[in-house]
Amino acid sequence: MAAIARRTPKTNRLVASTPHSLNGGLAVAEAMRQTNPDVVACYPITPSTVVVEKFSEFAASGVVDSEFVAVESEHSAMSACLAATAGGVRSQTVTSSQGLAFMWEVLYAVSGLRLPVVLHSANRTLSAPINIHGDQSDTMGARDCGWIQLYAENPQEAYDNSLMAVRIAEHPDVLLPVLESQDGFTVTHSVERVDVLPDDAAREFVGEYSPLSSLLNVKNPVTVGALVSPQYGFEVKLASLEAMNRAAPVIAEIGREFEDLTGRSAKLLEPYRMDDAELAIVIIGSVAGTARVAVDSLRADGIKAGLVKIRSYRPFPSEEMAEMLSGMRAVAVLDRSMSPGAASSPIHSDVCVALFSRSVNVPLVNYVYGIGGRDTYPNQIKDVFKDLQQIAGTGRPVSEIRYVGSSG
């Protein structure tokens, strides 16, 4: 099934936003209100519950005309979104941790059917032991499900990503589901200034959803979810892979359009003090703000430190990453998830491939931090840079994974 977002012509004008005091969860709910999806199916789970609570209020009070479906499980939530989008309407859902894991089967079905569902995920560690706090084990585990993945550093980015996710998913060159992610509690429950677009500007940016085909269109019948033999299965999977490869320039294009509209940057990768950096860290999510404090402190001491923040993790911006890190004396990649038995953690593995496949020879080391919601502090980031100074002296990568803030 194919679909396209119909939009009014681009205005190339900067639109004044209104500042609000919102946490990340409420910022996402506000973006959902402005998008007004046809169907929102949810089963609440901490720490994403704040999004579900607020949007259900919007639906109950008639602020939106979305069909809010309170399902009995996260598996049912994603199944409902699959059915709704296959039926020709815009759908979204919200989850965290075990809830995302419970959706697993349907995640692959949605991406394989090329349905532009949007999922708002509040990162939370996976059990056991039971822990409601944030790390990125859940969404990193879903990195190969065929979903585009966007990560927010703060409530503002959570709002911005939530609007852009709809445009990206529904772009005719993409037609893939998008997972919009923010760190649980650190972002979902932290109140900051969030500049919210006027409703009409947000809706114009997102556009109307006009599917080219629908399961419910009896005048133009289509088959969704048909059995496929080995004769064609490989090609179907490759078609989704090619769509993912086409997504990177689409994300960049929509990001530039969003920046023209709001003045806020929305790039695949966001460098900080990298113009003359010699030592760099690669990071994703909320700890980027902490890392900037450490970088500024090191700069004041004469150390040429910099950082690269990943905003689009899938598709992974390999070419841009290699270009930014080329010439560094040493680089640390910080992961907030583990990959037991693997040579390194997820983001580090992607960075390694991006550099090696482009003949960029940079000493590289993998750090894991913040597991189970543990806080990470500027001095710990500064210690990582101290390690990089020593590693730069040897000119060799470090094979073992190092851990930030672990007492073990």
Q: What is the pLDDT of residues 351-390, one digit of tens each?
A: 999 999 999 999 999 999 999 999 999 999 999 999 999 9
How is residue 157 annotated by DSSP? H
According to the model, what pLDDT value does residue 12 have? Answer: 58
Find the mean pLDDT for residues 317-337: 98
Average pLDDT of the chain, as a whole number: 95
Phi, psi of 312 (to 5 degrees): -110, 110
What pLDDT is stored for residue 3 in this prediction?
37
Which of 4-8, 70-74, 216-220 comes out lowest in average pLDDT? 4-8
Q: Could you list the beta-strand ranges (E) of 219-311.
A: 269-272, 279-284, 305-310
Which CATH number applies to 269-403? 3.40.50.920
Whether 64 and 58 have beta carbons less than 8 Å apart is answered as yes
Domain-by-domain residue ranges, the chain? Answer: 3-262, 269-403
Locate 85 and state its tokens.
């989008």
User: Cα(327)–Cα(298) distance, rounded to whole angstroms?
Assistant: 19
pTM (2 decimals)? 0.95
Please tell me the distance from the alpha carbon of residue 52 to that of residue 68, in angstroms, as a whole number. 10
**pLDDT mean over 167-187:** 97
Note the pLDDT of residue 248: 97
CA nearest to 297, candidates 289, 305, 288: 305
Give the mean model confidence (pLDDT) for residues 76-99. 98
Q: Do the beta carbons of residue 213 and residue 1 sit within 8 Å?
A: yes
Q: What is the pLDDT of residue 6?
A: 38
Q: Is 218 helix (H, G, I), strand (E, B) or coil?
A: coil
User: For the residues 133-142, what does the mean pLDDT come to?
Assistant: 97
Q: What is the pLDDT of residue 13?
A: 76
Give the distance, in angstroms, between the CA of residue 290 and the centroid of all CA atoms in the same chain: 19
C-alpha span between 30 and 168 (Å, rounded):
19
pLDDT at 233: 94
3-262 and 269-403, same CATH topology: yes
Please give the single-letter amino acid code of residue 354: A
Q: Do 81 and 41 contact (CB within 8 A), yes or no?
A: yes
Q: Are 74 and 105 in contact (CB under 8 A)?
A: no
Architecture of domain 3-262: 3-Layer(aba) Sandwich (3.40)
Distance of alpha carbon 46 from alpha carbon 123, whole angstroms: 10
pLDDT tens-digit readout, 221-274 = 998 888 999 999 999 999 999 999 999 999 999 999 999 999 999 999 999 999
Of 164-173, 308-317, 399-408, the poorest mean pLDDT is in 399-408
Please report, to the nearest 10 degrees, the dihedral formed by the alpha carbons of residues 102, 106, 112, 114 taken in order: -110
